[in-house]
Amino acid sequence: MKKLTLIALAAMAACTPKATEEMSEEKIKIVTLDPGHFHAALVQKSMYADIDSTVHIYAPESPDLDLHMAKINQYNSREDSPTSWTSEIYKGDDYLEKMIADKSGNVVVLAGSNLKKTEYISEAVNNGFNVLADKPMAINSEDYALLQDAFATAKEKDILLYDIMTERSEITTILQKELSQNAELFGELEIGSPENPAVTKESVHHFFKYVSGSPLIRPAWFFDTKQQGEGIVDVTTHLIDLTFWECFPNQIIGDENVELVAARRWPTVLSPADFERVTGLSEYPEFLSSSIKDGNLETYANGEITYTINGHHAKVSVIWNYQAPEGTGDTHYSIMRGTKANLVIKQGAEQGYKPTLYIEPVVEISEDEAQAAIDKLLSSYDGLALEKSNKGWKVVIPEKYDIGHEAHFAQVMERFIEYYKNGTMPEWEVPNMLTKYGLSTRALELANQ
């Protein structure tokens, strides 16, 4: 497997695209390639002044495309703030070649089967397209090597290659990061150990859920780890990203800064009835035959990775269940352990299944000191308050900041638009993306041993 040294990563960062008059003035023209995941549609749940309203879509004839268009049409026809997207669709087996030949846009949006995603990224970048890709960009070591080449090509061609990290926009995560930078409250990040990491993040997801008010129908390939990728290289990319972004903000994290300690994987079991409800299919496709055990589907959607960043121990884990209990949903748990206080995000029954941030002192901290830390954030996040809790304080966050997961896609797009207009990204983004996917793909190899 290829490895980039910290020096090489820094050089790549220094050579990120320079702003050009052409990029800063022209509108973004989106090309959506082979949309197979609902995230491709969520990018278009809002309209943007800097994005042309006509989107060109290239895909094979498939139910995936039909589901994608149903969501776009739903956004266009809703009563509250309808969108006004126009879709120009090309359907055919030569969809990739046709997209490259037509060059109908300047930014390719990718969210679909991960079996082909890294190849799509490579082809798009090689042919001069900027790319905004859903995670994961790579699901195995071979993909990761191709991804490294794609980033190198993007640097040479002065184009952007960026992944959709929505969790950076979640308000409790933002405030956890902000408070961890307050030495008077948090102290310093603990070193931790594999058994008791300094940072722990756990994400629980569900195959059956509602999106934009309708039951989500997932394509059958979503349950094929050869196409979707295992859980250890999928959702964990969000969590790894957050450990870099929160613990060492605005810093380049290279391969030299991380060490893989342990990794494991395990399956989620779905009955035929579960599978039919979430896919609409009454039978398992042939490509899933190797994953059928005693009539049930076993999909390796769960994974855990333990590693160090700059010597600090971290653990991330992702769990996929079939369906959340009534009134609940996907959940997130996160703790950053400081020498003065722990910053904890919980999302269980006690929190009404809403992410809630707590400050839990490990040394004596007065309420005035805790309030002083909150006061420093009020200029950016007005209305924050403290409420006494069992182990310290709950951070009370106004409802206006709780906009929901789907709205975070628009926030990512706004960031991407800014990068596009400037012609550059922060110097740490590219090397940290490379390190993130290098870590996740190595973890998969370790878990399979």
User: Could you tell me the CATH number of the domain that includes residue 84?
Assistant: 3.40.50.720
* Radius of gyration over every alpha carbon of the chain, rounded to an integer in angstroms: 22
Three-class secondary structure of residue 383 per DSSP: coil
d(CA 238, CA 309): 16
Burial 44-70 (b: 16+ CB within 10 A, else e): bbbebeebbeebbbbbeeeebbebbbe
On whether both 23 and 118 belong to a single domain, the answer is: yes
On whether both 330 and 264 belong to a single domain, the answer is: yes
Cβ atoms of residues 333 and 346 within 8 Å: yes
Tokens, residue 2: 């290829």
pLDDT at 359: 98
Q: What's the predicted TM-score (pTM) here? A: 0.90
pLDDT at 215: 78
With respect to residue 434, please indicate whether it lies within any of the assigned structural domains: no
Residuewise pLDDT in 10s, the chain (449 residues): 444 443 344 444 444 444 444 555 689 999 999 998 889 999 999 999 999 999 999 999 999 999 999 999 999 999 999 999 999 999 999 999 999 999 999 999 999 989 999 999 999 999 999 999 999 999 999 999 999 999 999 999 999 999 999 999 999 999 999 999 999 999 999 999 999 999 999 999 899 987 767 778 888 988 999 888 999 999 999 999 999 999 999 999 999 999 999 999 999 999 999 999 999 999 999 999 999 999 999 999 999 999 999 999 999 999 999 987 776 777 889 999 999 999 999 998 889 889 999 999 999 999 999 999 999 999 999 999 999 999 999 999 999 998 888 999 999 999 999 999 999 999 999 999 999 999 999 999 999 99
Burial 145-161 (b: 16+ CB within 10 A, else e): bebbebbbbbbebbbbb
CATH number of residue 266's parent domain: 3.30.360.10
Three-class secondary structure of residue 306 per DSSP: strand
On whether both 160 and 290 belong to a single domain, the answer is: no
Going by C-alpha positions, the residue among 94, 142, 111, 117 that lies closest to residue 41 is 111
With respect to residue 440, please indicate whether it lies within any of the assigned structural domains: no
With respect to residue 294, please indicate whether it lies within any of the assigned structural domains: yes
pLDDT at 197: 98
On whether both 236 and 365 belong to a single domain, the answer is: yes
Tokens, residue 365: 């901290």
With respect to residue 32, please indicate whether it lies within any of the assigned structural domains: yes
With respect to residue 441, please indicate whether it lies within any of the assigned structural domains: no
- For residue 339, which amino acid is it? T
d(CA 60, CA 97): 12
CA-CA distances (angstroms) from residue 231 to 228, 255, 265, 282, 318? 9, 22, 8, 25, 7
On whether both 107 and 210 belong to a single domain, the answer is: no
How many domains is the chain partitioned into structurally?
2
CA-CA distances (angstroms) from residue 346 to 5, 322, 326? 37, 21, 19
On whether both 413 and 362 belong to a single domain, the answer is: no
Cβ atoms of residues 304 and 200 within 8 Å: no
d(CA 393, CA 354): 16
On whether both 135 and 209 belong to a single domain, the answer is: no
Tokens, residue 72: 């776009």
pLDDT at 24: 52
On whether both 183 and 108 belong to a single domain, the answer is: no
On whether both 347 and 207 belong to a single domain, the answer is: yes
On whether both 176 and 149 belong to a single domain, the answer is: no
d(CA 140, CA 324): 29
On whether both 280 and 244 belong to a single domain, the answer is: yes
With respect to residue 146, please indicate whether it lies within any of the assigned structural domains: yes
On whether both 358 and 411 belong to a single domain, the answer is: no
Q: What is the DSSP string of 354-375?
A: S-EEEEEESS---HHHHHHHHH
User: Under 8 Å CB-to-CB from 53, ≥6 apart: which residues?
Assistant: 47, 84, 85, 86
Could you list the residue range(s) of the whole structural domain that residue 386 is in? 168-403
With respect to residue 231, please indicate whether it lies within any of the assigned structural domains: yes
With respect to residue 447, please indicate whether it lies within any of the assigned structural domains: no
User: In 239-283, which ranges are E strands?
Assistant: 258-270
Tokens, residue 204: 């629980």
